[in-house]
A = this chain, B = another copy of it.
Amino acid sequence: YFNTTALARLLEREWTKAFKPFGLTPSQAFLLRVVLEKPGLLQSELAAEMAISRSTATRTLDGLQHLKLLQRVATERDGRESAIHPTSQGLAIKDKLNTASGEVTRRLKKELGAAHFDDTVANVKGVRSTLE
């Protein structure tokens, strides 16, 4: 537990630096990247995909909407749902955002050794899905 939370905070600091030029926090940036990759998902689908609660999704989306990087669009078949679509401003930073992410990943891989990095990611992912 202790090692995992410490690592999470350490990574958070890395990614904070990486996304600072965009004026985005790591959680905003990761959420936006999912929206850019899969436009039109419902909020609840996004929350599930990112393994965050619905309330956290609400608040993170509020922030991104306020920055005019995405919009909530009511669906036709169910008045409760909103589908999340990027705005043109959101689309405009897609490539730069992905490049910045790629650079952090590459740097971490280099510092850790690519094999070790991949092993650890696979491990963590596995544990996470096993514990559901």
Contact = CB atoms under 8 A, between A and B. Distances in A.
Interface of A: 1-12, 14-15, 26, 30, 50-51, 108, 111-112, 116-117, 119-121, 123-128, 130-131
A4 B27 CA distance: 13
A110 to B, nearest CB: 11
B1 A12 contact: yes
**Count of chain copies:** 2
Contacts of A130: 111-112
A126 B30 CA distance: 25
A30 B108 CA distance: 29
Contact of A123 (B10, B116, B128): B116
Give the residue among A12, A14, A51 with the most B Cβ atoms within 10 A: A51
Contacts of A108: 131
A72 B116 CA distance: 41
A86 B12 CA distance: 32
Contacts of A128: 3, 6-7, 10
12 contacts: A1-B26, A1-B30, A4-B124, A6-B51, A6-B128, A7-B128, A9-B51, A108-B131, A112-B130, A116-B126, A119-B123, A120-B123
